[in-house]
Chain A
Amino acid sequence: MVLLIVGASLAGVLSAGWTPVLGVQLQGGVEVVLRPADEVSDEQFERAIEIIRNRIDAIGVAEPDITRQGDQVVIQLPGVKDKQRAVDLIGKTAELTFRPVITFFDPFDPNQRAAAKQVVEGSAVAEDENVDGDTEPTVSLSDLLTPPDQDDAAATVAVLGSTGQTGFVLAPAQLTGEVIEEAVATFQGQWIVNLSFNEEGALLFDQMAVANYERQVAIVLDGVVESAPTINATEFKGQAVISGSFDEAEAKNLALVLRFGALPVEFERDDVRTVSATLGEGTLRAGVIAGLVGLALVGLYMLLYYRLLGFVAICSLAVSGATLWSIIAWLGESKGLALTLAGATGIIVSIGVQVDSNIVYYERIKEEVRRGRAVRSAADGSFRAAFSTIIWADLASLIGAGVLYQLTSGTVRGFALYLGITTLIDLAVSFFFMRPLVVFVARRLVNERPKRLGLTTITEEASV
């Protein structure tokens, strides 16, 4: 029954092609821990994490793991190629800018792309003198678009709208998100966003309004046009309203963008780690080989000492291992949670705990048998006492894992997670698997010959 469940889940995981997601230390990549430089509200923090996630998605990392741990953000980018760029991009406080729209283009039309390219380079001649003369006929989209990390406020840039369907060529920024005092989404017949500026901002905004009257001004964040409202007045006196066909979510999102700017939080890089793929692989290989050798030694010892029961212990380990594999693969697949080096070592260590549950039980059985009880009834009867010991001891481990998981971050937290998981597996396997198998072995295979359990005393007595 238990075997069926475990087997089914393992088969499911394997057939779904899920494999454990390996952490940065195990396959190479980048790991960054960020902490806000100043006090921030929860809302700002969540927003910041969301922006970081968007940026990382934009550079195309296979399995990014971005989690908030207390007042830190832990970002793991296993297997990322361009490490330095990833690191730069993550913590950058790119600004929200207001840029007048020079022209639009269709990102899917090569001719329009080439035209847009010319417009962009036309005002950036100083930087690119060599290519200036003749424009290549084919301009790919990635050539054209300004990368988010080169989103310079003083340059002319080509960016896409938030849906990716429209391209914009934008003039240098007229003002930045800093001058916005407040932005709220309200419902007045339709969803609108009310903006208010500080004194400096009111002045600058009016200047921009005069220069761009009845033209569109784009609100740009991280190389994406969030909104491009048309200016329909020349004097705002520090108050502006953006209206359009927003739904509630869009309006609120825009308000949030305006209020918090790009990354609403300035982050300090607490810990930046780049691991080369070869070093990661080396560590992984070493860990796996060490784990297998350790397992083999433990198995051998248990067989020598407990004979048939040792076989049960090996089976228990195998079942636990299969369960653990399924869980890690599932966590990796559904939660993007990677198996870290600390986690992996924690698992190797947990071999000891799992085996101990077996030993506690077996020693109880041997003791009962020594007191003259029959093997099969000892196997039945000892379980209660042994399992209570196992529960109380495992409970202490669980308390430890819980406290550590709640109160720490990074390495220690990863360790606590796997400690907790393996302890729960230990309890389940002890109850649902080890016990029935031991009882079965005691009934069918031992035949009251305790020697098969590595017991000598009674055999000897019986032989007298």
Chain B
Amino acid sequence: MSFSIRRLYRGDTSWDFLGVSRRVLTGSIVAVLICVAALFIQGLNLGIEFEGGGVWEAPASEDVTTDAIRQTASNVGMTDARVQRITGGDDIFRVRGELPAGETAESIGSALAVTAQVESELVSARTVSPSFGDEVAGKARRALVVFFILIALYLTLRFEWKMALGALVAVAHDIALTVGIYAIFQFEISPATVVAFLTIMGYSLYDTIVVFDRVKDNERSLSLKTRMTYLDLANVSLNQVIMRSVNTTITSVLPVVSLLVVGSLIMGASSLQEFAIALLIGLLVGSYSSLFVAMPLVSSLKRREPHWAEQDRNAALLSESNSIENAATALAADRYDRSAPPRPRKKGRKR
């Protein structure tokens, strides 16, 4: 294991990404199916921004119980109110429910402030009309459709439609998994979460484009010289970008983890928490899908093209036992030409 990590560090890997892709893809499909099922069975826990209603937040002290707050809420007519005590950092009471007729956000806030024994200035409130959520969701849907069309066009122009398809499938996969996890664990969906989903899409696409860019590059420079099959080509490219993917994922995840840990657990800012959870899941799934979903899909599409099918047949005829060997040869052929003779390579160097 340590050996292969060292190879990874040196950018010297020759993992057979696509060889395992069938098994990995099956896993992905199962996961997506579970998530979609959860979405239909359990549905999403929508925040007030989508359902309408009101949320009040007041600082909580030790002497005030959640029950007292609940009692106050029902006294002002909010019988179905959900009352939570959110801990972490400074505790707060969170009351969510429909705004009763004849009351204002402020009047309820004051009532809660009295019970919570704080000044009413310290109570935060938010009320949303029910139609607003529909509007927000509608806009987001429309934006998504336009976005998908534009990105599909862009990728088709820049690369080719097969890659556009692969990238979009990977993005859809990421979103399905992230939304599915929200359905399974019943995390609340807020506009911040939607923003997080969009970020995930962005990251996933970004990652996939980096991979495709490299494949295209190699397609031009390597494949003409050799008898590489598309699988080899894809494998070589993936091995070349794996270190970037790993590093980028680590450096992207670090701030998010810090947002999650510092921001919400230590300081108790719950609005940051939702955002960070969605992002964390999405980032991990996103970099995975670029390597293991987008590329296998593209290569299985590309292998049907006459040129690559031909290469596949040639490779079969030559019955080379290990296609990676071939790739390694190709890389060696591409080695920057230096007058110095090739030097022997020592393995397992001490750091």
Asked if A282 contacts B267 (CB within 8 A), the reply is yes
Asked if A290 contacts B248 (CB within 8 A), the reply is no
Asked if A290 contacts B258 (CB within 8 A), the reply is yes
Residue A400 is within 8 A (CB to CB) of chain B in the complex: yes
Asked if A409 contacts B139 (CB within 8 A), the reply is yes
Chain A contacts with B in 324-363, Cβ cutoff 8 A: 341-342, 345-346, 348-349, 351-353, 355-356, 359-360, 363
Encode contact with B along A260-300: 1 for CB under 8 Å, 0 otherwise: 00000000111111111111001101110111011101100
> How many angstroms from the CA of A283 to the CA of B147 in the assembled complex?
31
> How many angstroms from the CA of A305 to the CA of B9 in the assembled complex?
9
> Which B-chain residue is minimally distant from A363 (CB atoms)?
B244
A286, A349, A392, A457: the one within 8 Å of B264 (CB): A286
Asked if B154 contacts A396 (CB within 8 A), the reply is yes
Size of the chain A interface, CB-CB below 8 angstroms: 86
Contacts of B23 in A (CB 8 A): none
Encode contact with A along B257-274: 1 for CB under 8 Å, 0 otherwise: 111011110111101100
A396 with B267, Cβ < 8 A, contacts A83-B106, A415-B198 known:
no
Residue B67 is within 8 A (CB to CB) of chain A in the complex: no
> How many angstroms from the CA of A397 to the CA of B151 in the assembled complex?
10
Residue A133 is within 8 A (CB to CB) of chain B in the complex: no
> How many angstroms from the CA of A269 to the CA of B334 in the assembled complex?
65
Encode contact with A along B164-195: 1 for CB under 8 Å, 0 otherwise: 00000000000000000000000000011011
> Which B-chain residue is minimally distant from A373 (CB atoms)?
B336
A360, A371, A411, A456: the one within 8 Å of B336 (CB): A371
Q: How many whole Å from A245's CB to the nearest CB in chain B? A: 45
Asked if A349 contacts B9 (CB within 8 A), the reply is no
Contacts of A295 in B (CB 8 A): 255
Asked if A290 contacts B191 (CB within 8 A), the reply is no
Asked if A355 contacts B248 (CB within 8 A), the reply is yes
Asked if B154 contacts A294 (CB within 8 A), the reply is no
> How many angstroms from the CA of A353 to the CA of B344 in the assembled complex?
38
Residue B103 is within 8 A (CB to CB) of chain A in the complex: no
Residue B131 is within 8 A (CB to CB) of chain A in the complex: yes
Asked if B271 contacts A352 (CB within 8 A), the reply is no
Residue B214 is within 8 A (CB to CB) of chain A in the complex: yes
Contacts of B128 in A (CB 8 A): 270-272
A407 with B195, Cβ < 8 A, contacts A290-B255, A370-B10 known:
no
Asked if A403 contacts B150 (CB within 8 A), the reply is yes
Asked if A286 contacts B255 (CB within 8 A), the reply is no
> Which B-chain residue is minimally distant from A280 (CB atoms)?
B124
Residue A464 is within 8 A (CB to CB) of chain B in the complex: yes
Contacts of B349 in A (CB 8 A): 456, 460
> Which B-chain residue is minimally distant from A313 (CB atoms)?
B251
Asked if A271 contacts B49 (CB within 8 A), the reply is yes
> How many angstroms from the CA of A273 to the CA of B192 in the assembled complex?
15
> How many angstroms from the CA of A291 to the CA of B104 in the assembled complex?
37
Asked if B126 contacts A271 (CB within 8 A), the reply is yes
Contacts of A70 in B (CB 8 A): 139
Query: Told that A287-B259, A394-B206 touch, could you supply 17 new A-B pairs with CB distance under 8 A?
Result: A271-B126, A272-B126, A272-B128, A273-B127, A277-B121, A282-B90, A286-B264, A286-B272, A290-B259, A291-B255, A349-B199, A359-B244, A363-B243, A363-B244, A389-B214, A393-B205, A396-B151
Which positions in A face B, CB cutoff 8 Å?
Answer: 25, 28, 33, 35, 70, 72, 83-84, 87, 268-279, 282-283, 285-287, 289-291, 293-295, 297-298, 301-302, 305, 341-342, 345-346, 348-349, 351-353, 355-356, 359-360, 363, 366-368, 370-373, 385, 388-389, 392-397, 399-400, 403-404, 406-412, 415-416, 419, 456-457, 460-461, 464
